[in-house]
Structure 1
Amino acid sequence: MDPHDIAHRHGAAHPHDATAIANELYRYAELVDAGRFTELGELMEHCTFSYGIQGDPGPSGAAAIAASYRDMVVTYDDGTPRTRHLTTNPIIDVDGDAATVRSTYTVMQQAPDSAMQAIISGRYHDTMKRIDGRWRFTERRFLVDLVGDLSRHLRFELLPQDQPPESEERQP
């Protein structure tokens, strides 16, 4: 028997946990970029969203999350927002069946009749748990650092957030 499997049964992190967790980060980006909001809601069904350093609450539950994305994200004739969410630099800390993840994101967009451009960049602070053998998001906090032209991506104006620089921030 593999010693990693024995450790995993006793609550220790399995070597594959970081990869499985990172794949969930990337799956989120893939589903948003494809405009597959029902599947996105299912992916995030155990998750509570919050925004900014104050943690302003967002939707929770599969149906509410899917509806929220349909309401706020502009989609085009191909059914997508014509974006690429680039999630990078994940820092994954696993403690048994729980994990915290800090990562950065940059969203690129090429809306019809416009050049491709970076429209927003910031950080995700996530909490995840192993539920029924699969890593699932339980909290996602969106922190916005840089904002470009979001008028062709969001149906609302993103207001500046009162956020300290990353170096002064509380650790999740």
Structure 2
Amino acid sequence: MESTYAAIARLVYTYAERLDSGDLAGMAGLFSKATLRTSGPAGIVTFTGSDEVHNAFANSVRRFEDGTPSTKHVTTNLIVDEDREAGTATGRAYFTVLQARPELALQVVAAGSYRDMFVLDADGWRFADRLIRIELAGDLSRHLSVALPTS
């Protein structure tokens, strides 16, 4: 049986893998019973369920001829705290987004943190909520089709 930490790490890393492969439907499916929130200068925006999450990413993440965003999300410093009796856990991690294109040298385009809540149900651990905080932004012009607010 997989440990709680391993199961949650698998979930966290699956998010990055699906996003980087351009599988927005698969990534959004991780939030079928969850919320995904983004924090920025204008406040927190909340997306509920896989349809809203999919639409938000489909309308903001650039994908290229191969269907991918040409990115690698590197997730580090994962810390998981489990409440075994409640069947819940919280997690926090850092992320760094790398991007390269034929016309763009490999570079860091964003870095920030995730704050996650997880629930254990009959199918295993799943997201209940994810808060994404972009704390450092580089040149996102080839990654996002929308501009991040600056104030």
TM-score, normalized by length of structure 1? Answer: 0.80
Partner of 2:48: 60
**Where do 4+ consecutive residues of structure 1 move more than 6 Å?**
none
Helix, strand or coil at the partner of 1:115: strand
Which residue number corresponds to residue 19 of structure 1? 6
AA at the equivalent of 2:136: L
Rounded Cα–Cα distance in structure 1 between residues aligned with 2:54 and 2:145: 15
Rounded to whole Å, the distance in 1 between the matches of 2:18 and 2:48 is 17
| Higher RCO, Cα 8 Å, sep 6+ | 2
Distance 2:47 2:101 in 1: 26
Instruction: Give the one of 91, 104, 125 matched to 2:115.
Output: 125
Distance in 2, matches of 1:62 and 1:85, equals 20
Q: What is the RMSD of the two structures over their aligned residues, measured on CA atoms?
A: 1.8
The amino acid that maps onto 1:41 is A
Partner residue of 1:95 out of 83, 90, 105: 83
Quick one: which amino acid aligns to residue 88 of structure 2?
A
More helix by share: 1
- The Cα offsets for residues 65-113 of structure 1, whole Å up to 9 and x where unpaired, read as 1121111100000000000000000010010210000100000001231
Note closer, same or farther for the CA distance 1:55–1:134 as it changes in structure 2 (3 Å cut).
farther
When the two structures are aligned, how many residues end up with a matched partner?
148
CA contact (8 A) 1:122 1:145 kept: yes
CA distance in 2, matches of 1:77, 1:51: 27
Alpha-carbon distance, 1:39 to partner = 0.8
Deviation at 1:159, TM superposition (A): 1.9
Q: Bigger radius of gyration, 1 or 2?
A: 1
* Cα shift at 1:57: 2.5
3-state DSSP class of the match of 1:52? strand
**Quick one: percent identity of the two aligned structures?**
34
The gaps in structure 2 that reach 5 residues or longer are none
Scaled by the length of structure 2, the TM-score of the pair is: 0.91
Q: Name the CA distance, whole Å, in 1 between partners of 2:51 and 2:120.
A: 21
Alignment of 1:63-142 (within 5 A): 63-96=51-84, 97-142=87-132
